[in-house]
């Protein structure tokens, strides 16, 4: 028996119907390779360390499955990647499939989700060039000098 897990990062706008479709299509790929789904969990919404495809937040899912006997691992991982890249490209931002040690348990420590908390919207700051900064300093300095001269 070989055990795998896939960590999936989905768009923060994913709705329950799309989640069900994701789980159903994922299960079908696993079944095609003679495997069975052990778990499919929604971890929840988290703030990302950096924007991914323009999103500051994402919804994580953790799926675990087992495959009996020998399977061509490269074909299995490619089939999962193709599922996300071709059929579910609108909702899936990133994914990663890893082989797990069968001897170790399936326990893990899940971080606290931001689900239900209000999201912050940050505006994108423009990057000033050195010459723009100097011009701004000159304007500030000139206005300070003229204010002092008037006093």
Domain spans in the chain, listed from the N-terminal domain onward:
2-100
CA distance 64 to 38: 5
* Residues 6+ away with beta carbon under 8 Å from 67: 1, 2, 4, 30, 33, 34, 35, 76
Looking at the predicted structure, is the pLDDT value of residue 118 above 70? no
CA distance 100 to 35: 14
pLDDT at residue 45, as a whole number: 94
Percentage of the chain beyond pLDDT 90 is 50
pLDDT in tens, 45-76: 999 999 999 999 999 999 999 998 777 888 98
pLDDT in tens, 96-112: 999 888 777 666 666 67
Q: What is the CATH number of domain 2-100?
A: 3.30.70.60
Other beta carbons within 10 angstroms of residue 147's beta carbon come to 9
């Amino acid at each position: 028996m070989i055990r795998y897990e896939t960590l999936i990062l989905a768009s923060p706008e994913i709705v329950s119907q799309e989640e069900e479709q994701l789980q159903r299509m994922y299960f079908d790929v696993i079944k095609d390779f003679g495997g069975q789904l052990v778990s499919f969990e929604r971890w929840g919404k988290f703030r990302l360390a950096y924007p991914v495809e323009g999103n500051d937040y994402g919804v994580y899912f953790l799926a675990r499955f087992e495959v009996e006997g020998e399977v061509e691992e490269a074909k299995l991982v490619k089939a999962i990647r193709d599922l996300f890249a071709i059929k579910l490209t609108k909702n899936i931002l990133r994914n990663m499939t890893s082989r797990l040690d069968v001897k170790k348990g399936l326990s893990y420590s899940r971080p606290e989700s931001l689900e239900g908390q209000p999201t912050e919207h940050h505006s994108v700051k423009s990057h000033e060039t050195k010459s723009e900064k100097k011009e701004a300093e000159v304007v500030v300095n000139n206005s300070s000098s003229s204010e002092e001269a008037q006093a």
